[in-house]
Structure 1
Amino acid sequence: MIRISSAAKTLGACAGALFPLVAAAQPDVPAPTRGAFSILDDNDFFGGWSDKYYTNHTRLALTLGADAAADRFRGSWFFSLGQEMYTPREREAEVPDPRDHPYAGYLYASGGKALFSDDLAIAAEIQIGLTGDASLAEEAQKEYHRILDEIRPQGWDTQIDGRLVGQALGEIRRRFVLDGACGNGAWGTDLIARGFGGFGNLRGQLSAGAQLRAGWNLPKDFGAASMRQSTSVVFDPEVNRSLYGFFDVQADAVFWDETLTGNNGDGADIYAYPLAAQFTIGVCAVYDRFMLSVFQAFRSKDFSSQDKDFFAYGGFKFSVFF
């Protein structure tokens, strides 16, 4: 009995000593994240008020919060409504140059699901929309120009045909901490690599990019990509205060794009480049439940008769978390 009692005491002491080590070795259970309502806008007003080509893109996005997960990944559903708008260089002409960008509008709704961990995010989305008159792009642009007392575009009667279109979108983002750690209240840098694909009867494209962020108390999210080359999900930064700048590079392979070549065969004659590059700089601030980022982008030519070697536009994203 004495030997058994001594052995039991020894075993109990060893178990007590090992328990903290075993507990520490268990992976942390990912905490729940907040949902977000976001307003995003790209506009060439921020590129020198050029009012041509990719002239405006507005999106309202809703991302639902993610519950705590039993494993590495958490999941969020997200939804959006958006409108894209494209115009040629000469807005006063009733019949645009057949080699110039056609008038085009795209009104869409979408929904998708994102799975994400501390350093990896995967998202898939289905987008359904309308082109042509039903996109309401003509009405939106003319009303906007009326309010600003600007030149009214005259060639919307030549816009691409109205169609019901669908797109399947997917992306992956991976975050690499380079200096410091995200959300630690100190200065740091990280790099977010991403890949994107979107295919449907509106456009087909593949994109690859990377975003370098540097600043104070970096968020635990996955940065921000161009709206046309990303899904609609908005990630919780998981910090209450943050300020940082970012530099983004992106390469696109475009296989078809009806907003650009939709009138080819109907008198238009546009040669679309299959490859394009884009560089973006911006800043982002997080304060309590609010996040605001602003950026300036410079994109290489999308088609051969474009009037400059690059096209500039800018935009913002404002999110309220709940």
Structure 2
Amino acid sequence: MVNLAQAGDAYRFTLLEENDSLYADSDQHYTQGLRLSVLSPALARQDGWNDAFDLMAGLGPVFITGEAASARRISLFLGQSIFTPQDTARVDPDPDDRPYGGWLYAGVGLLQETDRHMLEQLELAVGVVGPAALGRQAQNDYHQFINIAEANGWGGGIQTEPGLMLSYERLWRVPLAGDGDNGVDIVPQLGATLGNVFTYAGGGALLRAGRNLRGDYGPARIRPGLTGTDYFDDDHLDGALGFYFFAGIQGRAVGRNIFLDGNSFRQSPRVDKNIFVGDVQAGVSLFWSNDFHMTVSAVRRSREFEGQNSPDVIGTATLGFSW
């Protein structure tokens, strides 16, 4: 293995907000997601984290390098997602609508770029769903702060349960026009997630047009959603300024969604989920080397359960900086 980057680069912090009311007047279904992550500098050859990559490479066809040039990084993250029905004024939630639910989690990701055109990401998230995820407190305290009505049905939602998700994804950066740094490219991706919170397999692609495209593989997202990663490498940049406009699509085959299927081992509210779900996304990303980045986008998600009135629209906003 040959590392492209050298240890000692800055750590990169990213704050990601996803909210259905970010750009529109809405407060339903996937109503709030918040994720804070930190991306390590490129690992030095002697770094102990390389043992984790090598262990996984010994278990299957992942993180294989051979003579290929590669760079490895670690991502640590903490997040919370909140789900509610459409009518939050009811004390007894509508049994035919999505149940109340929260997901509080932390995790670690292993990221490896190979030959400057392929990125692999293996991610483990552990946490808790239900009242212990503090969804009610986060939503209603914020509603009190901005002086709007609280959600009244949190007592009848998903019950407390430990949660675990293991995700693996692979992305490829394919130039379509320009020199690979500046122009147009497409980032196809395939991946799967296994766990009691979400289990699904998906694939899609992100089309990008702009400058310094080789700095990353698209903006980070919160699961389940269009694939994005924390990965960034300013060694690839031609000048400090980078930006791109992007549009993407992803389809998922969903085996489990605890926020629709209900708890694993106890009775809880549930609805009949749709097996196939799709996202369409568009937005713009702007960054200045590794020092600052900002992304805004809008996502249209297809109906996730039977009886859902209409697709959901989710706004996203990302701010990041190095340290």
Using the size of structure 1 for normalisation, the TM-score is 0.85
1:24 — aligned with what? none
Paired residues for 1:197-236 under 5 Å:
197-224=192-219, 226-229=221-224, 230=227, 233-236=230-233
Change (3 A) 1:146 1:119: same
Larger radius of gyration: 1
Matching of residue 173 in structure 1 with residue 193 in structure 2: no
State the match for 1:293 in structure 2.
Answer: 295
In 2: Cα distance, 1:107 partner to 1:145 partner: 19
Q: Which residue of 2 aligns with 1:50?
A: 26
Change beyond 3 A, Cα 1:217–1:235: closer
For residue 37 of structure 2, the aligned residue among 46, 57, 61 is 61
Q: Counterpart amino acid of 1:253?
A: A
How do 1:231-242 and structure 2 match up within 5 A? 233-237=230-234, 238-239=236-237, 240-242=240-242
What is the one-letter code of the residue matched to 1:167? M
Which residue of structure 1 aligns with residue 112 of structure 2?
Answer: 115
For residues 11 and 269 of structure 2, the distance between their equivalents in structure 1, rounded to whole angstroms, comes to 45
Whether the aligned pair in 2 keeps the contact of 1:197 and 1:205 (CA below 8 Å) is yes
Structure 1: 5+ residue stretches without partners: 1-26
2:150, 2:184 → 1: CA distance?
Answer: 45
Give the deviation of 1:112 after TM superposition.
2.1
Structure 1 letter corresponding to 2:213 = L
CA-CA distance at 1:218 after TM superposition? 2.6
Partner of 2:88: 91
TM normalised by structure 2 equals 0.84
Deviations 1:199-228 (A, max 9, x none): 111120111110000013334311125321
Does the 8 Å CA contact 2:98/2:270 hold for their aligned counterparts?
A: no
% identical aligned pairs: 27
RMSD of aligned C-alpha atoms? 2.2
Q: Residue 158 of structure 2 aligns to a residue in which SS? A: coil
Question: What SS does the aligned partner of 1:73 have?
Answer: strand
Q: Find the counterpart in structure 2 of residue 257 from structure 1.
A: 257
Runs (5+) with no aligned partner, structure 2: 46-66
Correspondence for 1:37:
13
Matched positions, count: 292
Match of 1:307 in 2: 309
Closer, same or farther: CA 291–267 of 1 in aligned 2, 3 Å = closer
Please state which structure has a larger fraction of its residues in helix.
1
Secondary structure at the residue paired with 1:92?
coil
**Which residue of structure 2 lines up, in the alignment, with residue 320 of structure 1?**
321
In the alignment, the residues of structure 2 paired with residue 137 and residue 200 of structure 1 have an alpha-carbon distance, to the nearest angstrom, of 20
